[in-house]
Structure 1
Amino acid sequence: MAENPAYPVGLRLTGRRVVVLGGGQVAQRRLPALIAAGADILLVSPEATPSVEAMADAGEISWERRPYREGDLADAWYALIATSDTEANTEASAEAERHRVWCVRSDDADKATAWTPATGTSEGVTVAVLTTNAKGRDPRHTAAIRDAVVEGLRDGTLVAPHHRTRTPGVALVGGGPGDPDLITVRGRRLLAEADVVIADRLGPRDLLAELPPHVEVIDAAKIPYGRYMAQEAINNALIEHAKQGKSVVRLKGGDPYVFGRGMEELQALAEAGIPCTVVPGISSSISVPGAAGIPVTHRGVAHEFTVVSGHVAPDDERSLVDWPSLAKLTGTLVILMGVDKIGKIAETLVAHGKPADTPVALVQEGTTAAQRRVDATLETVAETVRTQEVKPPAVIVIGEVVTVGPRTSA
């Protein structure tokens, strides 16, 4: 056979007969894609794996429990030959050739008339990687290329711009606690596809350097507020850019709905008729303690954890937190945005029954290269913050879980 390259093509198999010979591991791997393609599938095999049998029981495929026999491929559009009987495979391959049925052989690719590429999907796009000729075929290499391309499309490291009109709108993306690797795959992809990014100070800043040069990056802290309150100005910036037909990402630290005012932005966009997508993020309330070696729950120590905003002191009339009740809980208390109020918070908890020697950990710049952990107790935490010069952003963990694990951060 001449060593000409294979000609790649996408088969539209909806409602068309596909015959699969053999019900083993090869069929188990290939059948789901054929089912997804809408093919009318006939499996011919005396036996099948439990997974393949389940497909037949569910009515996704038809199964004739017998060996291959002449004539099985007469009405097929496509055939997958994957039995353990070499003689049967050869006979079936010859029948496929006579009937001009494209045929894949798992036991001898050189004698097949078609090859199955390594495939993957991302946002409605199928990536198929195929060796150019039979000599030197390396399925693991093609699979590795497939994986690299698909992963790049999914996480935004491989940017493929849309050239047709996109629906303008806003995505509220939770960027995670700070480490750029901790943003979700979807969040990273939307970030790579954005025209405008309005970023918080606490968002993963390193990701902004990876954006294409045409992307406009706006620091939310520097938006001119004029007569508006800060949040109103941000809302208006989101609306104005979206109305210009741009794809806008609002990049936030942590999760948009955990003290991130994400719902306020969503409501403003809804009132303006702007479509909005919300992409959850990893909250610093869990991830930052974990990065510092602190589990927020632990068997026999804490069966619950409570996350509280500490931006308003306990004695402030604006506070919505029931601090006396929190003092009575035996679980873990996680406080965000509370560094400058921790003295008053600790005093209030102790006044309402929390032991003064309750362990406290403050984790500054969690998950980043500058991560720093400082330990104290409720009695000493105010002085510790002052002498150790603990600065925001820092997550404060109060409870016995602080002493459970080994220290993983200085």
Structure 2
Amino acid sequence: MAAEHPAYPVGLRLTGRHTVVLGGGQVAQRRLPALIAAGADITLISPSATPSVEAMADAGELTWHRRTYADGDLAEAWYALIATSDPTANAAASAEAERHRVWCVRSDDADAATAWTPATGHSEGVTVAVLTTEAKGRDPRRTAAIRDAVVEGLRDGTLVAPHHRTRTPGVALVGGGPGDPDLITVRGRRLLAEADVVIADRLGPRDLLSELPPHVEVIDAAKIPYGRFMAQEAINNALIEHAKQGKSVVRLKGGDPFVYGRGMEEVQALAEAGIPCTVVPGISSSISVPGAAGIPVTHRGVAHEFTVVSGHVAPDDERSLVDWPALARLRGTLVILMGVDKIGRIAETLTAHGKPADTPVALIQEGTTAAQRRVDATLATVAEAVHTHEVKPPAVIVIGAVAAMNPVHTD
């Protein structure tokens, strides 16, 4: 009998409860994992089964009776899935389920069933179940598409559904990627959407901040008052202060938190204060920006290694921890971050220790953003190129043969 009213949605708690599955084909193969995960006591009745279903039986996840359906099989069941290839057996089993008041799903005739299986998905402890409101005109593909859209939205943060009762205050150290807002990780975007406070770096993906709800407090890390503290200490104190107020705090950084991002300093400060901290890795600009400019940091037969170096301290500065003579001897790719204003002295040092002066150099400014531009030079000309083309930070500098490579275009 076709339903005249929409189905009533409900979640079945089947742990330890007898569940009968008739048929061991593809339908059972798709539905059984969820029943197993629900802890159901499953009896499979079918003369044959797919290899995957047979493996479930061999693993002890269900009891398999290798025969066809017989009247009485559903007498003690709480829930039944009818999915055999025999319409007569399906109808008989459905009638038995009705007599014994067993909720029953039929794969061959939804109108004759007493229950329907929704399209389900999971995200962070939440089960999303989408159900067509009536039997007539059911559209499983649309139902699945809605399910996928909701789950994806929850995962990537575009569908904002913040925790309230179960949320634990603390700090999430989120790597925002190289600049393009689409290049933040799914987890990072979701945590950003759930935040009460966001303390953001200048190089973080700024476009994401405009998507935040009005109640979210956004703090520019560069504008935190320092007082008697150094800049990093002031940022650490701000993170601790907001977290101790019971708020969910996101520290949004550019690139990856641990690649020249002082992320570990913040993690250590939070640990000393007893504040829980989650670290969400980000896509480092050291590989993503060259890639966006068409430069592979490694390539077969050209470069078998790449080295990432901070250029914020010049080679002749006593604070430098870099072995520049050793880098000059390497045959692979050298990627320099934060080195625009020091590139002249870096180039001189590398050539003084044996790096050929005609070694290709590429400078990529504002990589992965709409303002991205690339300037090509060599070690001999890079200092002049920076001045002539007015290259400004942030820019990633690539030194090595890969910087001269260009994609091969074919028609």
Q: What TM-score do the two structures reach when normalised by structure 1?
A: 0.96
Output the CA distance in 2 between the equivalents of 1:403 and 1:56. Answer: 58
Which residues of 2 match residues 11-410 of structure 1 at below 5 A? 11-164=12-165, 166-406=167-407
Q: How many angstroms does 1:269 deviate by?
A: 0.6
Counterpart residue identity of residue 337, structure 1: M
Deviations 1:288-334 (A, max 9, x none): 11111111112222222111111111111111111111112222111
Deviations 1:336-389 (A, max 9, x none): 111111111111112222222221111111111111111111121111111111
Output the CA distance in 1 between the equivalents of 2:51 and 2:302. Answer: 43
Check whether the contact 1:289–1:397 (CA below 8 A) recurs between aligned residues. Answer: yes
Counterpart residue identity of residue 82, structure 2: I
Q: How many angstroms does 1:243 deviate by?
A: 1.1
Output the CA distance in 2 between the equivalents of 1:370 and 1:289. Answer: 15
Counterpart residue identity of residue 286, structure 1: I
3-state SS of paired residue (1:41):
strand
Output the CA distance in 2 between the equivalents of 1:77 and 1:165. Answer: 32
Stretches of structure 1 that go unaligned for 5 or more consecutive residues are: none
Output the CA distance in 2 between the equivalents of 1:385 and 1:241. Answer: 41
Output the CA distance in 2 between the equivalents of 1:161 and 1:131. Answer: 26
Output the CA distance in 1 between the equivalents of 2:121 and 2:56. Answer: 21
Identity %, equivalent residues: 89
3-state SS of paired residue (1:110):
helix
Counterpart residue identity of residue 136, structure 1: G
Compared CA separation, residues 365 and 127, structure 1 to 2 (3 A): same
Output the CA distance in 1 between the equivalents of 2:24 and 2:32. Answer: 10
Output the CA distance in 1 between the equivalents of 2:266 and 2:217. Answer: 20
**Number of equivalences:** 408
Q: How many angstroms does 1:24 deviate by?
A: 2.1
Q: How many angstroms does 1:54 deviate by?
A: 2.4
Output the CA distance in 2 between the equivalents of 1:298 and 1:59. Answer: 49
Q: How many angstroms does 1:197 deviate by?
A: 0.4
Q: How many angstroms does 1:102 deviate by?
A: 1.0
Counterpart residue identity of residue 4, structure 1: H
Q: How many angstroms does 1:128 deviate by?
A: 0.9
Q: How many angstroms does 1:240 deviate by?
A: 0.8
Question: In terms of mean alpha carbon deviation, does 122-131 or 154-163 score higher?
Answer: 154-163
Q: How many angstroms does 1:398 deviate by?
A: 1.4
Q: How many angstroms does 1:403 deviate by?
A: 2.8
Check whether the contact 1:93–1:103 (CA below 8 A) recurs between aligned residues. Answer: yes
Output the CA distance in 2 between the equivalents of 1:61 and 1:344. Answer: 70
Output the CA distance in 2 between the equivalents of 1:324 and 1:108. Answer: 76
Compared CA separation, residues 43 and 301, structure 1 to 2 (3 A): farther
Deviations 1:59-82 (A, max 9, x none): 222223333233322222111112
Output the CA distance in 2 between the equivalents of 1:133 and 1:212. Answer: 36
Output the CA distance in 2 between the equivalents of 1:60 and 1:302. Answer: 50
3-state SS of paired residue (1:87):
helix
Q: How many angstroms does 1:205 deviate by?
A: 0.1
3-state SS of paired residue (1:342):
helix
Check whether the contact 1:292–1:407 (CA below 8 A) recurs between aligned residues. Answer: no
Q: How many angstroms does 1:407 deviate by?
A: 9.0
Q: How many angstroms does 1:249 deviate by?
A: 0.6
3-state SS of paired residue (1:334):
strand
Deviations 1:241-294 (A, max 9, x none): 111111111000011111110000010011111111111111111111111111
3-state SS of paired residue (1:43):
strand
3-state SS of paired residue (2:152):
helix
